Structure 1
Amino acid sequence: MESVSVIGCGNMGGAFLRGLAKAGYDVTAIDLDTDALDRVADVASETTTDVEAAKGSDLVVLAVKPHIVESVLDDVDLHPDQTLVTLAAGVPREFVADRTDASVVRVMPNLAAETGDMAAAATEIGVTDDVRALLEDLGEYVTVEEEYMDVATAVNGSGPAFVFYLIEAMKDAGVESGLEPEEAEVIAAQTFKGAAETVRQDDRSVDELIDAVCSPEGTTIEGMEVLWGSDADEAVRDAVEAARNRSQELSEAFDDA
Structure 2
Amino acid sequence: MIRVSVIGCGNMGGALLRGLARAEGYHLTAIDLDPEALAAIEGVVDETTEDVAAARDADIAVLAVKPDVAPAVLDDLDLRADQQLVTLAAGLPREFVAERTDASVVRIMPNLAAETGDMAAAATNAGLTDEVRAMLDDVGEFVEVDESLMHVSTAVNGSGPAFAFYLIDAMKQGGIESGLDPEQAETLAAQTFKGAAETVLRDDRSVDELIDAVCSPNGTTIEGMDVLWDSDADAAVEEAVAAAERRSRELAEAFDDA
Q: Which residue does the alignment assign to 1:81?
A: 82
- List, as ranges, runs of 4+ consecutive aligned residues in structure 1 with deviation greater than 3 Å: none
CA distance in 2, matches of 1:201, 1:33: 41
Q: Which residue of 2 aligns with 1:216?
A: 217
The residue number in structure 2 matching 1:206 is 207
Aligned to 1:22: 22
Report how many aligned residue pairs link the two structures: 257
Give the corresponding residue for 2:150: 149
What CA distance in whole angstroms lies between the structure 1 residues aligned with 2:2 and 2:113? 23
Q: How does 1:18-97 map to 2 (within 5 A)?
A: 18-24=18-24, 25-97=26-98
Q: Report 1:83-232 matches (<5 A).
A: 83-232=84-233
Aligned to 1:9: 9
User: What amino acid maps onto 2:82 in structure 1?
Assistant: D
Aligned-partner SS, 1:67: coil
**Which residue in the other structure is 1:254 paired with?**
255
- Whichever residue aligns with residue 97 of structure 2, its letter is V
Q: Secondary structure of the equivalent of 2:68?
A: helix
Name the SS for the 1:66 alignment partner: coil
**What is the DSSP-based 3-state SS (H/G/I as helix, E as strand, rest coil) of the residue aligned with 2:108?**
strand
Once residues 150 and 183 of structure 2 are traced to their aligned partners in structure 1, the CA distance between those partners, rounded to angstroms, is 36
CA deviation digits over 1:29-58, x for unaligned, max 9?
Answer: 000001000010010100000000101111
Question: Over residues 153-178 of structure 1, what are the superposed CA-to-partner deviations in whole Å (9 max), with x where a residue is unaligned?
Answer: 00000000000000000000000100
CA distance in 1, matches of 2:236, 2:251: 23
Deviations 1:40-99 (A, max 9, x none): 001010000000010111100000000011110111210101000000110000000000
The 3-state SS of whatever aligns with 1:3 is strand
Name the amino acid aligned to 2:167: L
Letter of the 1:213 partner, please give it. Answer: V
Specify the code of the residue in structure 2 equivalent to 1:148: L
Q: For the residues of structure 1 that align with 2:51 and 2:254, how far apart are their CA atoms?
A: 28
- AA in 2 matched with 1:105: V
Shift of 1:2: 2.2
- The residue identity in structure 1 corresponding to 2:19 is G
Q: Which amino acid aligns with 2:208?
A: D
Cα distance in 2 between the residues matched to 1:249 and 1:127: 25
AA matched with 1:18: R
Task: Name the CA distance, whole Å, in 2 between partners of 1:159 and 1:217.
Answer: 33
Matching residue's letter, 1:7: I
TM-score (norm 2): 0.99
Is the partner of 1:156 in helix, strand or coil? Answer: helix
Cα RMSD after superposing both structures: 0.6
User: What is the TM-score of this pair, normalised by structure 1?
Assistant: 0.99
